Structures are given as C-alpha cells and as structure tokens.
Amino acid sequence: MRTDTPPPVRLTDYRPYPFVIKHVHLDFFLEPTKTRVRNKMTGKRSFGEHALMNLDGENLKLISIAINGLAVPEEEYEITPEGISIHMPAGEFCLEIETEISPETNTQLSGLYMSGGRFCTQCEAEGFRRITYYPDRPDVLAPFDVRMEADKDAYPYLLSNGNPVRSGNIGTDRHFAIWSDPHPKPSYLFALVAGDFDVYTDSFTTMSGKETPLAIYVDKGDSDRSAYAMDALKRSMSWDEDVFGREYDLDVFNIVAVRDFNFGAMENKGLNIFNAAYVLADGQTATDADFEAIESIVAHEYFHNWTGNRITCRDWFQLCLKEGLTVYRDQEFSADMRSRSVTRIKDVIRLRSRQFAEDAGPLAHAVRPDEYARIDNLYTATVYEKGAELIRMLRVLIGDTAFFAGLNRYFDSYDGKAATIEDFLNAMQLSTSEDLRNFARWYSQSGTPTVTAKGVHDTIARTYTLTLKQHTSATPGQPDKIALPIPLKTALFSGKGRRLSTKLNGQANDEHLLILRDFEQDFVFTDVSSAPIHSLNRGFSAPVRLVDGLNDANRSALAAADNDPFAQWEGLQTLARNILLEMSKDEDGDHKDSLSAFIDAIDEAYTATIDDPAFAALILRMPTVGELILDQKDADPSKLHATRLKLKRAIARHMQGSLVATVQHSDTGVFDPSAAAAGRRALKAAAIDLLSGLQDEHADRIYESFLSAPTMTEKLSALNALANVENGGPSGEYFDKALLAFEEEWKDTPIVMDKWFSVQAMSIRADLRARLHRLCSHPDFDFKNPNRVRAVAAAFAMNNPVGFHAPDGWGYEFLTDIILKVDGLNPALSARLTTSFESWRRFSPDRQAHAEKQLRRLDDANLSKNAQDIITRALA
C-alpha cells in the first residue's frame, strides 16, 4: 500500500484567502510544446499581517516573477510541489509571473492541452494551476482579460471567456485576439480555445431585447450536425427566462466541441467546452438517447451561467450547491420539453442504478461531505443526482410559491459571490414557515433511507392507520444515523382500484403529503370505509427505498388502476423485482402462478399505454442485474442474469404477436428527433430486445431490421439485440456481419465508432473475452482518448455485469489491466474506471476474492493519487 496518501481536506479547515485579486490579465503565446503564459494580477492584502502569498501551481516552469515592475529576488519566494510562496509588500501590488507549459504532452486533459491539433482547456476543479500560478480556489473571484497569440493558419480561431475586444495580425504568420470577461469569476471557469473549426451560428434575443450571437465550433465538416445542439441552446435560454427569470449576460455565447474530454461538458463563462459526443447529432449518426443527452447537457451547462457562475461555490465541499441545483434545473427543462412522467422515470432509473449503488458501498458519502482526499473524485452521482433530488424534495416540502421566492432571494443576495449550502438554505428559510434545520441533515448524512410501511384498517372507526418507519444503514464514517424529514406523496385506493378521497388531519384529499420526521410515526386517515391499498412515494417524492408492505395481488390491482404514470410504472417494477428475486432463489421451481399473473399485468399495462409509446417501452423494461444486486447479499450476477432472461423469454413468448408488429413498424419520411418519434423507436427497441430473448427464433427479423434501419437508434437496437443472444446460432453470424458493415460505414467517424466498440463490450456472447482483447488491439483503440477507453472499459465494467463479474475473475483482471495502462496518462479517467469495483463486497465469496485480488494489485502499483483514493476507500 502507498504510504504517501495525502491528508484529507476538511470543511472545518476553511479559511478565507487573505488577498483580493482585483484584476487578472493573461497573455498566451501558444505553441504546442512551449506555450508561454504571462499572468499579471493586481490586488492587495485583504486582512491579516501575514506577508506570504501562496499561489497554486503544478507542472509549471517558472520563467520570471516581478512585483510592481521589479524582478523578485530568489530569496523572496519559494517553489514547492504545490505551488509558490511569495513575500509580498504591504499595500496594492501588481504581480507578474511568466511560466512555460507544454500542452502537447498534457495527457491528463486538465489545464491547457491539445485535442485534434487544437488548444483547449479544462480547469474545473483544479486545472488552472496547471496553466499559471494562481490562488486556484473557487472563492477568489476576479475579472479576466485574455490576450492570445498564435500561428494564423494553424489556429485561425482564438476564443476565451466573456466578450471579444479586438483582434489583428502580427506580421504575416501570426495573429492575436483579446477577450474580456467583466463578470468576476473563479479560475475554474477560465477557458481558452485556439484552432481551426467549422462554425455553426445563430442568435437569441434575450427577454430585455438584446440580440446575442451564438456559435458552435466543431470539426471541419460537422457543422450540419450541430443544429440540434443549437436548437437546444436556444430553448434553454428562453426556458430559463420563462421559468426562473434568468437572462443571459454577455454579448456572445460560444460552445466548442472537442473529442478528447474527461467528462460531458464544462460551463466556462461564455465559452462552454463540450465533449463532442454531446454536441454532434443527426438521425444517421446519433441515437435518440444521444439527442436526449445533448438536449439535457446543453441546458445543464447553460443553466450553470446563473447557478454556478453568477453564484459560485465558496469551496469544493459546496459542489452540490451548483451541481445539484443545476441538475434539478436540467431535469425540469427536459420534463417540459418531453414527457414529464417518462423523464421522471428515467431520472429515477439513473438515480437508483448509480447513486443508490454508490450510497450502499464503500464510496458512500454525503451530498455535502465534510472531508475529501481528491476533489476530482467528488464529481459523483451522489453530489449530482442525489443533490438534485434534495432540491426537488425541498420544493415539495415548502411548496412552489416559497420555493421560487426563496430562489429569487438566493439570486438577489448572492449574485457575484461564492456561497455555501447554508447560504442557500437561509435564503429558502426566509421564504417559508417550514423549519429547514432538519432538512439540512439530508446534506450531511450519507446512505439511502429505507422506509417501511404497514397499514391497519379499523372498520368501526373507519380509520386507516399507516405506520411508517425509517432506517438508514451505517456508511463509512457514519455509524449512527439520525431521522430525516421524508416527504411522501400518498394516495389510498379501494380494493377495486378506485382512488379514495380521505381525510388526514381534517383535510380531505385524494392525494396527501405525509412528512415522516421521526424514526417511526403513525398517520391516521379518517373517513375510510373499507380496507384500502396505499400508494406511497408517488412521483418518487423522496429518494428512499420503500418496503411498502403490500402483497403482489394488491400491487397488481394498483398498477392496473393508478392514474399516476410514475406510480403505475413503479408498481410493475416492484412486481418484476419480486418475481425475479423469487425465481432466482428457487431456480428449479416453475413459478407458474406468479409468472402468469405478472405477465398478464405487463400485457394489460402495455395494451393500455400503447398510445404513449415512450411510456409503454418503459413498461416492457425489466429491472437490470445492477438494480437487483442492491436487494441481495452474496449476489450471483450470472444467476440473476439467467433469471432475468427467463422472465423476458416468458414475456416475449406470451406477447410475441404484438411485439413482432411493433418491430415491423418504422417511421417514414424525414428523420424526426422529437420525443414522440423517439418514443416510437424506443418501443420498437424494447420489443426487439424482448424478442432476442427467444434466442435465434427471430434472428432473421432482427438482422433484417438492422439492414433496413433508417436511423442510428434502430440500427443500434438491432445490433444490441444480436449482441445479447448467447448461443452460437445464426444471431452470432449476423452479429459479426452487422459489425463488419457498421465498421465499413463509420470507420472515419469516431463518435459513431465508439458505439461499435461499446456494443461489443456489452455483448454477452461466448467469445466476449477474446473480443475485448481484439478491441483493445484494434488500430483505432487509443488509451489517450477517454471516449474510446470508456466505450470499451466502462461499457464492459458498468453495463455488462455478466462479463465483468465472470465467476473465474477474468473480467476484474481485464479492467485492472486497463486501469494500470491508463493511470500514467490520465488519473481522472483511471480513478473513474476504478469506481466500477464499488460494489465488490455484495457479490458471492468467490467473486469477492477475485475482486479483492485485483484491488490489491492496484493498491501495490503506486498509482496516481486520484486512483489511490478510490482503491483505499474500496478496500477499507
């Protein structure tokens, strides 16, 4: 094990920075291997006597340093591995530092680096210190002016934050551009781009009538594929005005797409930088899921302009202040653009599969943790997804009026500042009579609460007493848990499935909001004439696991009757989970009765919702192995997978006729990316997926559907279906033929080829292992490109539980080999891949032994601090 693990950063150690930076002027002389950065900061000491100024810096070559125009003698400063300490004079200063960096050899993709021959940056969270010496912390805000100079032919476009000021030629070969950002910002929002692009332009007139040019910079030839992202941007801008009253605040707004990027995208002020996969789309090359992701990420980054940029975070412990709120905002946007219930269901699926898993394992942490070892590892499902659920819950708790009043107060009070969760909650508190002190516990307590319900009907008193209990299991560092306020939207139904109007605390309603505040609490409904069936946590009003205390007959009755689509879907998912767990417990039983009752319920719901195909598709979706694992100890993924296949097969057998009809349908005419058209394709994909469960019976049909697919969505759903047939029959041949054709068609389009890599990494065919090795030695596989590495390694480890958890451990070993290769190049990426081990203790003992062996191998390898942090916690 490594001994040099750094001490954690603690929330309680926060100290304000003792200097103010009034203005920053940056001068870049851009060359791939030798970029000169001149950084001129003016400012003054803001408090204290201490004359030492500490600036962060990493991998920088210092060229010169001067204060108020005079070179600083060597004994006046000290360079450390973390940065530089400089003796500062009293009063105002102008500090000038010149450094040299090598963007071309920056494979970490943090700071200034090259992608496809262009310069670009990624500074959140701590990348700016890899560009120049600076107080690289979010609570130091300053206006930035940036001048860039570069070769004119190679880098015709020079972009930075804020507004363009001036540009011009320098001699014949070089040129320059100056940008100025008037909004004080922390260094993590700095961005610079230089290179050659195609530019897709448009404009948006803001609510106060200001016409704002918009541009998306993409690879040569890709400009047509930017139309959807541009459309999403304009819709986001107008939605933020309509719903939150937030207007854009610069003269221009630019988006740049780059192919080498560690995450989805980055909200740099006025210059968002995107992973190209979340910008480029047309019907031929992108799936509907891609369109949906583009819409939501474009919106997310744009919304950050207010929640993140205008109001930023005091320190990185407050990350959820901007991320949770912004995810909440992008989820609401998607719900308004598409179907609200379908969007909500998808958000819940994502929360459950990623965040619940994180919360249930060794990497569990609070939405606002009180310590961390490596900041890059805090960009998690808990901070983002659970963070968004807390905002949603807060809105349910205090109501719409107070919620928006509180938000406006927050915007008014903290505009231009670096704020905390306490600041946010205070603004909310001033707008509601609900005491939010207990609600704040949701931010500091980790783990997913389980709510258990039990109802008793009293015929004589005509009451229904619902007893609710909450329990949260211990998580790392938090052995004992406190009770949280849990808002549960609740309705009661008659045995025949009619929603009842009942009274709670004297109030009559057919849906009530119960707030479970204690570990155990009774809620007494009155006016209940016969024994009801309760429906709890409707719309997923709280991010909890629910043990509802119903039997499956009641649940089926509810699912058939409920007018709330989320509740209906949730009821069927619970039924599916139960039957899957029952079947996997008793593999030899025939489970005839429960199976046929379940299949009838699915068939009925499917028929009833067929006019809303996106929703019907979700009805046909069975819980994944990843979700089922959460309900089990010593889980055996292969067994769960086999059970799941059995269930899908039974559904397919029963519904074959209607599924085949669905598969044969294809929209004609021009491609339509709308939610409605996407819903029809989603249903088709769900049908193909079920039919592929009948092994080779439908191979011809599926292959035919691949060949004739008019859209990438349909092509890929057919390809996925072929990848999921286990035996070596015709599907196998078709799969390989289809892959060849796909590769031939798309070999020059990297983001499409990523799909080709990942569909194979997610396949469950017998040749998977050999196939993975072939993929890694494919000429287009590139350890330096995160999208490509993820297309193989993350697709395999996160979406192929059968392969990854292979009983003899080869899956763990394969991933470990990749992590070991990636780590030296890109620690953020290797750390992310390492999180795939997060649930290792939930599996059967043989698997645990194999996983532990690989984790120990990683632990012994002296990896980056980022990877080491995950490994240490996973093994703890």
The residues carrying an active-site annotation are 301
**Binds ligand ARG (CB under 6 A): choice among 125, 393, 421, 483:** 125
Residues 264-323 that bind Zn ion (CB under 5 A): 323
CA separation, residue 443 to residues 304, 390, 437 (Å): 20, 8, 11
Residue closest to ligand ARG, measured at CB? 379
Nearer of residues 832 and 850 to ligand ARG, judged by Cβ: 832
Q: Residue 593 — left, alpha, or beta (φ > 0 → left; ψ -120 to 50 → alpha)?
A: alpha
Inter-residue long-range contacts of 10-16, CB under 8 Å, 24+ positions, other chains counted: 10/370, 10/371, 11/315, 11/317, 11/368, 11/369, 11/370, 11/371, 12/370, 14/314, 14/315, 14/317, 16/46, 16/47, 16/139
Question: Which residue, 609 or 826, is less far from ligand ARG as judged by CB?
Answer: 826
Judged by beta carbon, residue 294 or residue 792, the one nearer Zn ion is 294
Which of 260, 323, 548, 552 is close enough to bind ligand ARG by CB under 6 A?
323
Mind giving me the DSSP string for 81-142? TTEEEEE--SSEEEEEEEEEE-GGG--S-SEEEEETTEEEEE-TTTTGGGTS-B--STT--E
**Binding-site residue total for Zn ion (CB under 5 A)?**
2
Nearer to ligand ARG, 193 or 762 (CB): 193
Integer CA distances (angstroms), 551 to 99, 206, 533, 620, 682, in order: 69, 54, 10, 21, 31
Considering the complex, state which of residue 266 and residue 870 has its C-beta at the smaller distance from ligand ARG: 266
DSSP 8-state symbol, 571: H
Cβ neighbours around 326 below 10 Å, total: 26
Instruction: Pick out residues in 323-362 that bind Zn ion (CB under 5 A).
Output: 323, 326
258 to 317, contacts with ligand ARG by CB under 6 A?
Answer: 263, 265-267, 300-301
Residue 125 interface partner, choices ligand ARG, Zn ion, none, CB cut-off 5-8 Å depending on type: ligand ARG
By C-beta, is 359 or 385 nearer to Zn ion? 385
Q: What is the DSSP code (8-state) at residue 748?
A: T
Residue 228 binds which entry of Zn ion, ligand ARG, none, with Cβ cut-offs from 5 to 8 Å by kind? none
Rounded Cα distance between 256 and 657, Å, is 47
Residue 266 interacts, among ligand ARG, Zn ion, none and using kind-specific CB cut-offs from 5 to 8 Å, with ligand ARG
Q: Which of 527, 618, 531 is nearest to 569 (CA)?
A: 618
Chain-centre distance for alpha carbon 68: 45
Kindly give, in sequence order, each residue whose CB lies less than 8 Å from that of residue 254, ignoring residues fewer than 6 positions away: 159, 214, 215, 216, 217, 270, 271, 272
Q: How far is the CB of 304 from Zn ion (least distance, A)?
A: 6
In the bound complex, what is the minimum distance in angstroms from residue 634's beta carbon to ligand ARG?
33
Query: H or E stretch including 147?
Result: strand 142-151
For residue 263, the partner it binds in Zn ion, ligand ARG, none, with Cβ less than 5 to 8 A by kind, is ligand ARG
Binding to ligand ARG, residues 679-708 (CB under 6 A): none
Q: Which is nearer to ligand ARG, 297 or 725 (CB)?
A: 297
Closest contact distance (angstroms) between CB of 331 and Zn ion is 12
- Distance (Å, rounded) from C-alpha 728 to C-alpha 720? 16
Minimum CB separation of residue 269 from ligand ARG in Å reads 12
145 binds, among Zn ion, ligand ARG, none (CB under 5 to 8 A by kind): none
**By C-beta, is 320 or 752 nearer to Zn ion?**
320
Spell out, one character per residue from 456 to 495, where the chain touches ligand ARG: x when CB under 6 A holds, - when not: ----------------------------------------
Q: Which one, 375 or 430, has the nearer CB to ligand ARG?
A: 375
From the CB of 300, what's the least distance to Zn ion, in Å? Answer: 6
- How many Å is the Cα radius of gyration of the chain? 28
Sites for ligand ARG among residues 85-124 (CB under 6 A):
124
- With both helix axes pointing from N to C terminus, report the angle between 565-585 and 592-609 in degrees, rounded to the nearest 10: 160
Cβ nearer to Zn ion, comparing 189 with 683: 189
> Which residues in 154-166 are b (16+ Cβ under 10 Å) and which e?
ebebbbbbbebee
Rounded to whole angstroms, the Cα distance separating 322 from 315 reads 11
Q: Give exposure, 383-409, as e/b (b: 16+ Cβ within 10 Å).
A: bbbbbbbbbbbbbbbbeeebbebbbeb
53 binds, among Zn ion, ligand ARG, none (CB under 5 to 8 A by kind): none
Cα atoms found within 13 Å of the Cα of residue 178, Cβ hemisphere only: 8
Write down the residue that tokens 């055996």 correspond to.
Answer: 636
Q: Considering CB distances under 5 to 8 angstroms, the limit depending on partner class, which of Zn ion, ligand ARG, none binds residue 570?
A: none
For residue 125, the minimal CB distance to ligand ARG (Å) is 5
802 binding ligand ARG? (CB under 6 A): no
- Tell me the closest approach of the beta carbon of residue 107 to ligand ARG, in angstroms: 16
CA distance 518 to 403: 24
Q: Bridge partners of 532?
A: none
Pair 427, 410: CB distance under 8 Å: yes
CB 323 to Zn ion: min, Å: 5
Q: Cα(289)–Cα(686) distance, rounded to whole angstroms?
A: 14
Q: Report the nearest approach of ligand ARG to the CB of residue 594 (Å).
A: 43
C-beta of 93 vs 303, nearer to Zn ion? 303
Burial of residue 206 (CB within 10 Å: 0-12, 13-18, 19+) is: middle
Alpha-carbon distance values, 581 to 549, 645, 751 (Å): 16, 13, 38
Q: How far is the CB of 110 from ligand ARG (least distance, A)?
A: 7
Provide the CB-side half-sphere exposure for 305 (13 A, CA): 26
Positions 807 through 866 that interact with Zn ion (CB under 5 A) = none
Given ligand ARG, Zn ion, none, residue 265, with its beta carbon under 5 to 8 Å by kind, binds ligand ARG
Cα 500 to Cα 533: distance, rounded to the nearest angstrom:
10
Q: Which is nearer to ligand ARG, 217 or 379 (CB)?
A: 379
Are 175 and 152 in contact by the 8 Å Cβ rule? The answer is: yes
Residue among 19, 134, 379, 569 that touches ligand ARG (CB under 6 A): 379
Total chain residues near ligand ARG (CB under 6 A): 11
| Least spacing, CB of residue 754 vs ligand ARG, in Å | 20
Q: Say if CB 247 and CB 233 are below 8 A apart.
A: no
Residues 660 and 691: beta-carbon distance below 8 Å: yes
Q: Please, what is the minimum distance in Å from the beta carbon of residue 124 to ligand ARG?
A: 4
Query: Cα 476 vs. chain centroid, distance in angstroms?
Result: 23
Give, in order, the Cα–Cα distances in Å from 841 to each of 350, 363, 446, 837, 850.
22, 12, 18, 9, 11
Binding site for Zn ion (CB under 5 A): 323, 326
Binding site for ligand ARG (CB under 6 A): 124-125, 263, 265-267, 300-301, 323, 376, 379
